[in-house]
């Protein structure tokens, strides 16, 4: 139940159905006095879907300074039983595509590696069991550091994406000043050219600080997206695979929210599902193209995300 009280009057919304089902849900309460007071000044969303209105009056919305409580009413009544994460209060009414994206347990996120601590670094935080194995990296402050030598990291089992035709691979990268000339940042499959529905991102493939991202149906090289120079500091990278698009547009690379230029000579032959292969981070199949950078907050979503909805 979401309730707004102002001067002794209140408005309420109720959830359609139940969310007490043991999985994570995103909740948002929008307080917007610029809209229709009776129906829209307080809006409740569950997983970005507007919920039903129980009752509103015409008292209007007034926000006043008060202590903020989480998990109870005033610290004494209506105690909450469950888990709460990623709480955010924002000045201004957000649209649904601006809601938090960080909580990633459950679909459509199929794998999430926050690298928070050495003890949990190899665990898939999405809850889908796509855990990693590897050795050599150091973990601190939410990132894994690779030195361009013998560091290895990959999923223990195949990462099965064969049920999907769309995906978004996201991560943060901070290249080291002595990074090698060619490095495999991430790759689904150890033999990208011969594996249907697989993808990769490389660093410095065609020049210093250049990122390249590609997706292969049946071995066809359908896209090479080259970023501007990637210098020191953290950068957000997203490889978006979109089955609704054709040709080179089927896979697009975004760096810090900006789409990288594409190579128009590589075209998609046909639509194709994603692959069911080992997912490697930091090398090509743990044998070559060693990565010499820091990687943070890496996840794969079985959905096409826009720059505004990426992390």
What does 235-299 look like in DSSP terms, one character per residue? EEEEEEE-TTS-GGGGEEEEETTEEPPB-TT----S--PPPEE-EEESSBTTTBS---EEEEEEE
Which of 141, 104, 143 is closest to 125 using CA atoms? 104
pTM, full prediction: 0.65
For 186-190, 230-234, 293-297, which range has the lowest pLDDT when averaged over its residues?
A: 230-234
pLDDT band at 68 (very low <50, low <70, confident <90, very high): confident
Q: Which residues pair with 77 in a beta bridge?
A: 73
Alpha carbon distance 284, 290 (integer Å): 7
pLDDT of 5: 39
118-145 pLDDT per residue, tens = 889 999 998 899 999 999 999 988 899 9
Alpha carbon distance 260, 307 (integer Å): 12
Alpha carbon distance 36, 57 (integer Å): 11
9-56 pLDDT per residue, tens = 445 556 766 777 777 788 888 887 777 666 777 888 888 888 876 555
3-state secondary structure of 95: coil
């Amino acid at each position: 139940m979401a309730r707004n009280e102002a001067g002794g009057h209140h408005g309420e919304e109720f959830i359609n159905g139940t969310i007490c089902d043991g999985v994570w849900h995103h909740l948002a309460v929008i307080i917007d006095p610029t809209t229709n007071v009776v129906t829209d000044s307080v809006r409740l969303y569950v997983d970005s879907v507007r919920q039903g209105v129980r009752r509103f009056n015409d008292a209007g919305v007034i926000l006043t300074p008060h202590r903020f409580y989480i998990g109870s009413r005033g610290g004494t009544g209506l105690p909450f039983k469950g888990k709460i994460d990623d709480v955010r209060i924002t000045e201004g009414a957000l649209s649904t595509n601006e809601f938090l994206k960080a909580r990633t347990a459950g679909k459509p996120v199929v794998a999430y590696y926050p690298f928070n601590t050495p003890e949990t670094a190899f665990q898939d935080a999405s809850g889908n069991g796509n855990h990693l194995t590897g050795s050599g990296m150091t973990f601190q402050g939410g990132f894994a550091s690779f030195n361009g030598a013998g560091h290895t990291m990959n999923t223990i089992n195949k990462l099965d994406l064969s049920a999907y035709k769309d995906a978004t691979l996201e991560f943060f990268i901070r290249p080291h000043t002595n990074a090698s000339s060619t490095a495999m940042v991430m790759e689904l499959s150890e033999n990208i050219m011969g594996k249907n529905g697989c993808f990769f991102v490389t660093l410095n493939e065609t020049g210093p600080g250049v990122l390249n991202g590609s997706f292969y149906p049946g071995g066809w090289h359908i896209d090479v997206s080259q970023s501007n120079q990637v210098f020191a500091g953290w950068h957000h990278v997203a490889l978006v695979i979109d089955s609704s698009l054709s040709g080179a547009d089927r896979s697009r690379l975004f760096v810090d929210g900006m789409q990288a230029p594409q190579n128009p000579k590589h075209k998609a032959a046909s639509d194709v599902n994603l692959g069911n292969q080992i997912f490697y981070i930091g090398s090509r199949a743990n044998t070559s193209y060693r990565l010499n950078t820091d990687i943070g907050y890496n996840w794969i979503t079985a959905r096409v995300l826009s720059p505004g909805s990426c992390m």
